[in-house]
Amino acid sequence: MDPTIKRIYQFVIAGGIVTLLLILALANPFILNSSDFCVYNSGWNGCSDIGIKTYETGKFQPTVSFNGNELTLSQNSFVDYDIDPQNSTIFIIGPRTAFSLREGTYIQNFLENGGMLLLADDFGSSNDLLNKINASSRFSGELMLDLSFEKKASFVTIFDFLDRSHPLTSNVSHMLFNYPTSITAGHNTTVLAASTEMSWLDKNVDGKEDSEEPEGPFPVLVIEPYGKGEIVLLSGPSLLINSMKDQLGNNIFRENLFYYLYNERGTVIVDESHRDVAMPLQIAYVFPSTIGLEVKVFIVLLVVVAFIVGFTTIPKDAIKKLEDLLVRSKDTPKEGSLDEIIEQLMEKHPSWSKNKLEKIVQRMR
């Protein structure tokens, strides 16, 4: 391949990689904004209505921030905040990544000291957190279908409320879930809502009820006391997305939920740190926010050096010039030996002009 064409290809590849990294770094916040259940997502699958509702109450604690004067977004976990559990509520909706031991310890202490936790999930990572805090309830993680549905069996209608006097279910006649799971209620847990007897767990996800598949009813809304606090578990997080707000009695239930979780509490944190973002996007989004300016400058310089070494002839040209310089300096006679060379030449060629030879040597010097 022609060296010029090869170099053009190298520049194009390197430029493409740099451009891709820049696009990922800049576009990642927008990608996060389009994630399911994201409180900053105003689309049909987002929970921006919850964010707006919470913000209007003056209780909303933003979990996205800028690092100092740098234009670097940081996605903070609830563990990054020092809050009063008795005055605070934490929302965790549709988490898709595991919880750290530190986060588990934080939630455990939060609940034991009077915190309120909403855990709305279907097929996510909530059981990981429930295991870490040794709660007694679990999400089954299986798709729950019901013959009481709207349009199709995965749009489950919930109308069996076991305690209609409870603040969460007061005045709620129906709720509509979208692809829900079920809850295995633990000890001392209050079941507030359940599916019908015609429901089942579709383990093979074929949309049909098979003889070996568990039959309902199944709990879908429960409250588990924990220390001085409470965990509200909801097996249909889709009920909280923007597009499901006005379906059946969802809006009434949501209003009840907000009041129950917000009443007499001054801070509400909606966790956004457990979204399932692809690894390249995590690197482009999370990594820049965890390192200092000096490290960033070093990385940029390292990339520049790697580019120069790998995709240009500058190092080879520099080495060649250095070698030529060394060879030239090695082959060039020393000043002291030039006089000796003149004497030797005059001995061999007595007719030559010594004066001219000296002028030649002077110019060379």
Residues 6+ apart with CB under 8 A from 275: 32, 35, 38, 95, 96, 97
Query: Using the 8-state DSSP alphabet, how is residue 60 labeled?
Result: E
Q: Is the dihedral of CA 29, 31, 35, 39 positive or negative?
A: positive
| SS3 per-residue string spanning 69-127 | CCCCEEECCHHHCCCCHHHEEEEEECCCCCCCHHHHHHHHHHHHCCCEEEEECCCCCHH
Q: pLDDT tens across 306-360, in order? A: 766 666 667 677 777 777 776 665 555 555 567 777 787 788 778 878 787 777 7
Under a CB-based contact definition with an 8 Å cutoff, are residues 30 and 41 in contact?
Answer: no
Q: pLDDT tens across 39-97, in order? A: 878 888 888 888 888 878 777 776 655 444 444 445 678 888 889 999 999 999 999 88
Fold topology of 13-290: Rossmann fold (3.40.50)
Q: pLDDT tens across 222-262, in order? A: 999 999 999 999 999 999 999 999 899 999 999 999 999 99
DSSP β-ladder status, 88-93 and 267-270: parallel
Among residues 121, 156, 158, the alpha carbon closest in space to that of 141 is found at 121
The residues with which 320 forms a beta bridge, in sequence order, are none
CA distance 115 to 108: 9
Of 22-31, 96-105, 124-133, 165-174, give the lowest mean pLDDT range. Answer: 22-31
Residues 6+ apart with CB under 8 A from 59: 89, 262, 265, 266, 267, 268
CA distance 260 to 110: 18
Q: How far is CA 129 from CA 50, 191, 260, in A?
A: 22, 20, 22
Q: Residue-wise over 126-142: b if at least 16 C-beta within 10 A, else e?
A: bbbbbebbebebbbbbb
Tokens of 179: 């692809």
Q: What angle do CA 41, 47, 50 make, to 5 degrees?
A: 125
User: Could you write out the DSSP letters of every residue in 331-362?
Assistant: HSPPHHHHHHHHHHHHHH-TTS-HHHHHHHHH
Q: Where are the domains of the chain?
A: 13-290, 333-365
pTM of model > 0.85: no
Tokens of 278: 């692809």
Number of residues that this document lists for the chain? 365
